[in-house]
Amino acid sequence: MSHPDRRPLKSHAPGTALTGRLGVPGDKSISHRALMFGALAVGTTEISGLLEGEDVLRTAAAMRALGAEVERVGPGAWRVSGRGVGGLLEPADVLDMGNSGTAARLLLGLLAGHPVFAVMTGDASLRKRPMKRVTDPLSATGAAFWTREGGRLPLAVRGASDPLPIDYVLPVASAQVKSACLLAGLCAPGTTRVVEPEPTRDHTENMLRHFGATVSVTDTPAGRVVLLEGQPELVAAAVLVPGDPSSAAFPIVAALLVPGSRVVVENVGLNLLRTGLVTTLREMGAALRVENERIAGGEAVGDIIAEYTELSGVTVPPGRAPSMIDEYPVLAVAAAAARGTTRMRGLAELRVKESDRLAATFALLSANGIKAEIDGDDLIVHGTAGAMPGGGTVETHMDHRIAMAALVMGLATRAPVAVDDAAFIDTSFPGFAALMNGLAGNGGPGGPISGA
254-269 pLDDT, tens digit per residue, is: 999 999 999 999 999 9
Nearest to 107 by CA among 172, 42, 33: 33
Ramachandran bin of 410, using left for φ above 0, alpha for ψ from -120 to 50, beta for the remaining angles: alpha
Q: In what order do the strands lie in the sheet with 77-81?
A: 69-74, 77-81, 44-48, 239-240
Pairing verdict, β 239-240 and 44-48:
parallel
Catalytic machinery residues: 326
Q: Which is nearest to 135 in space by CA: 163, 111, 99?
A: 111
User: What does the alpha-carbon distance between residue 118 and residue 111 come to, in Å, rounded to a whole number?
Assistant: 8
Cβ–Cβ under 8 Å, residues 39 and 68? yes
Helix locations, 123-235, DSSP H: 132-138, 175-185, 203-210
Each residue's pLDDT tens digit, 317-336: 999 998 999 999 999 999 99
Measured CA to CA, the distance from residue 201 to residue 324 in angstroms comes to 10
CATH class of 28-231: alpha beta
Q: Do the first three CATH levels of 9-26+242-451 and 28-231 match, i.e. the same topology?
A: yes
Domain at 9-26+242-451: CATH code: 3.65.10.10
Q: Who contacts 149 (Cβ-Cβ below 8 Å, separation ≥6)?
A: none
List, as one string, the DSSP characters of 364-394: HHHHTT--EEEETTEEEEE--TT---B--EE
Q: Which residues contact 450 (CB under 8 A, 6 or more apart)?
A: 9, 10, 11, 433
Residue 449, number of CB atoms within 10 A of its CB: 27
- CA–CA distance, 415 with 436 (Å, rounded to integer): 18
**How many other CB atoms sit within 10 Å of the CB of residue 70?**
22
Distance, in Å, from the CA atom of 136 to the CA atom of 131, rounded to the nearest integer, reads 9
Q: pLDDT per position in the chain (452 positions), as tens?
A: 444 578 999 999 999 999 999 999 999 999 999 999 999 999 999 999 999 999 999 999 999 999 999 999 999 999 999 999 999 999 999 999 999 999 999 999 999 999 999 999 999 999 999 899 999 999 999 999 999 999 999 999 999 999 999 999 999 889 999 999 999 999 999 999 999 998 999 999 999 999 999 999 999 999 999 999 999 999 999 999 999 999 999 999 999 999 999 999 999 999 999 999 999 999 999 999 999 999 887 789 999 999 999 999 999 999 999 899 999 999 999 999 999 999 999 999 899 777 799 999 999 999 999 999 999 999 999 999 999 999 999 999 989 999 999 999 999 999 999 999 999 998 889 899 999 999 998 755 678 999 86
- Kindly list the domain boundaries of the chain, sorted by start residue: 9-26+242-451, 28-231
Encode pLDDT of 166-204 as tens digits.
999 999 889 999 999 999 999 999 999 999 998 999 999
Contact 28, 268 (CB under 8 A): no
List helix spans (H) across 73-210: 101-112, 132-138, 175-185, 203-210
